[in-house]
Amino acid sequence: MRKYLVISSFLAALDQAVKLVILERYQGIPTVIIPGIIRFDPVQNENLNWIASMANIKMPVYAMIAIQVLLAFVLIVFFSYQRFTSPDNHRLISIGFCAAFSGILCSFIDVVFWGGSLDYIGFLNWFVFDMKDMFLHIGSIFIVIWLNSCAYKDKSKEGVTFTTWLKSRLRK
């Protein structure tokens, strides 16, 4: 687990480093990369999440932090259970976990230290996003692919339900 948390932390640090460079050197300098498709357009998003942004709702900071902590906890427990009950090939779920966890970590840092997210990649004049959003989407895609793969359950651990696994982990 430690290895995956280190990878996730590295990805979160990369996201924050990119944002610092943009803030220092490129804030307020929009640039078209592919006309009508992709643009570089730094903007501070203070709505704290995608749903709040689309609905133009200001979400309370403490509520967002509580959601992020809960999601991080659920993701760690889910990942641990999946690794326990699956065969040795964990590549899909590991990539999914690292990407999703780094996205949650980036979001937490954005909320606590930035007061929102510094989004900078504009797509089709619909919305502006950042590396954190890509991490969250990539993680979600890999987790869905993992759950739909026929190899994600180890037949020898087929009888181990989530409840049994959780009870055994809590006893340790």
Element (H, E) at 33: strand 31-34
CB 30 within 8 A of CB 40: yes
Which domain range does residue 79 map to?
2-171
Q: State the pLDDT at residue 158.
A: 66
pTM summary value:
0.84
* Tokens, residue 2: 């430690």
Structurally, how many domains does the chain consist of? 1
Q: State the pLDDT at residue 95.
A: 94
Query: Is residue 172 packed enough to be buried (19+ CB in 10 Å), middle (13-18) or exposed (0-12)?
Result: exposed
* Tokens, residue 113: 């230290």
DSSP state, residue 83: H
pLDDT along the chain (172 residues), means of 10: 93 94 84 86 76 69 91 93 76 93 95 86 82 94 84 62 79 72
CB 124 within 8 A of CB 36: yes
